[in-house]
C-alpha cells in the first residue's frame, strides 16, 4: 500500500498577516489516459506522450483533492510502444504536491512519481525482436520472411469523414473506432496498416495528413501498437476527363485504411 507521508497541498495567507496556513495531502494517483502531444523528426525522430493522472481519495482523508495532474514522457519514436507500455505498467503511482517556494503561499507543482523510462532496456528488447509492423517493409532483414509468408490482402471498409478544412473527428466516430480497434487486435497478421488521409482540392496537404494522424492516434489510444499503423496521404483528383476542375464531393474529405503488409500466421 502506498505511503501517505503528509506534504503541503494548499497554503492560504491568514487575514491581515503574511503567515501561511498549510493544509496537507499526499497519496496515490490513477492513470486516466495517455496521448501523444508532440512528435518531431529532428534531430532524430522522437515523440512526447502525456499521461493524465487523477488523485485518489483515501480512507479517512480529506474530501478536498488536487486537480488532475499531467506528466510528459519523451523518447525516440522507435521506442513509442515501449514507452506506452512503461506508462501503462505504472497506472497507480505515488503523487504529492511540493511545498511552496520560500516566502510564498502558492503550493508547488504536483509530482507524479512514475519511474524513469529505461531506454537501455527498451533498446535491448527492440534489438532482440527485430523490426516490427510497418518497419518490416523497408528492413532488408525481413524481406525473405515477407516474400515467403505474405498472405492475401485483407480489406478494411471503415472510413472516417471530416468537415471542410478540419482534422477533428466527428463526435459519433467512437463506436466505429472501437470496432476497428477490436478487429485489428483480433488480426495480428495485419502487420502494417496505412491510415490514409485524402488530400482534396481547396485544402492543404497538411490538413489531409492531420486527419490521418488523428485516426491513427485514436487507434493507438485503443491499444493498437503504433508500429502497425502509418499515417499517409493520397493526392486528389484535381480534374475530370474533360480537363475541367472536378467539384469536391464532401465525402472525399475522409480517412480510409489500407493493408500494406499482411503475413500468414506462423505454422
Q: Residue 145 contacts by C-beta under 8 Å, 6 or more apart in sequence?
A: 136, 263
- Does pLDDT of 98 surpass 60? yes
Q: How many residues does the chain have?
A: 267
Q: Could you read off the pLDDT of 8-21 as tens digits, one per residue?
A: 343 344 444 456 65
Percentage of the chain exceeding pLDDT 90: 28
The answer to whether residues 199 and 236 touch, using CB atoms and an 8 Å cutoff, is yes
Quick one: pLDDT at residue 184?
Answer: 92
Average predicted confidence (pLDDT) for the chain: 78
Beta strands in the chain (DSSP E): 8-13, 20-24, 26-40, 46-55, 69-76, 92-97, 110-112, 159-161, 190-198, 229-234, 254-262
> Where do the domains of the chain lie, and which CATH numbers do they carry?
8-125 (no CATH), 131-262 (3.30.1330.60)
249 φ/ψ angles, rounded to the nearest 5 degrees: -80, 125
- The alpha-carbon radius of gyration of the chain (Å, integer) is 24
**Burial of residue 239, with CB atoms counted within 10 A of its CB: 0-12 exposed, 13-18 middle, 19 or more buried:** exposed
Mean pLDDT of 126-151: 56
Q: How many CA atoms lie within 13 A of 122 on its CB side?
A: 16
**Burial of residue 42, with CB atoms counted within 10 A of its CB: 0-12 exposed, 13-18 middle, 19 or more buried:** exposed
Between 143-152, 211-220, 226-235, 244-253, the lowest mean confidence (pLDDT) is in 143-152
The answer to whether residues 28 and 4 touch, using CB atoms and an 8 Å cutoff, is no
Quick one: pLDDT at residue 236?
Answer: 61
For residue 106, name the pLDDT band (cuts at 50, 70, 90).
confident
DSSP 226: G
Amino acid at each position: 500500500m502506498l505511503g501517505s507521508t503528509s506534504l503541503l497541498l494548499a497554503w492560504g495567507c491568514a487575514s491581515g498577516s503574511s503567515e501561511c496556513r498549510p493544509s496537507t495531502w499526499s497519496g496515490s494517483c490513477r492513470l486516466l489516459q495517455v496521448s501523444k502531444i508532440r512528435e518531431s523528426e529532428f534531430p532524430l525522430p522522437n515523440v512526447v506522450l502525456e499521461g493524465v493522472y487523477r488523485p485518489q481519495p483515501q480512507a479517512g482523508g480529506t474530501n478536498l483533492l488536487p486537480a488532475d495532474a499531467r506528466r510528459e514522457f519523451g523518447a525516440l519514436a522507435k521506442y513509442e510502444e515501449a514507452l506506452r507500455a512503461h506508462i501503462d505498467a505504472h497506472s497507480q503511482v505515488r503523487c504529492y504536491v511540493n511545498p511552496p517556494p520560500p516566502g510564498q503561499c502558492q503550493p508547488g507543482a504536483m509530482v507524479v512519481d512514475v519511474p524513469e523510462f529505461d531506454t537501455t532496456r527498451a533498446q535491448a528488447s527492440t534489438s532482440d525482436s527485430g523490426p516490427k509492423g510497418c518497419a518490416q517493409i523497408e528492413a532488408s532483414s525481413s524481406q525473405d520472411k515477407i516474400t515467403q509468408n505474405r498472405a492475401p490482402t485483407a480489406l478494411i471498409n471503415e472510413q472516417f469523414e471530416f468537415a471542410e478544412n478540419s482534422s477533428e473527428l466527428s463526435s459519433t466516430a467512437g463506436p466505429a473506432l472501437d470496432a476497428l480497434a477490436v478487429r485489428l487486435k483480433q488480426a495480428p497478421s495485419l502487420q502494417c496498416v496505412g491510415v490514409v488521409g485524402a488530400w482534396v482540392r481547396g485544402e492543404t496537404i497538411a490538413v489531409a495528413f492531420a486527419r490521418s494522424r488523428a485516426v491513427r492516434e485514436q487507434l493507438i489510444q485503443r491499444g493498437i501498437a503504433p508500429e502497425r499503423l502509418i499515417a499517409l496521404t493520397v493526392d486528389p483528383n484535381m480534374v475530370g476527363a474533360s480537363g475541367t476542375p472536378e467539384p469536391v464531393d464532401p465525402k472525399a474529405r475522409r480517412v480510409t485504411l489500407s493493408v500494406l503488409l499482411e503475413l500468414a500466421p506462423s505454422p
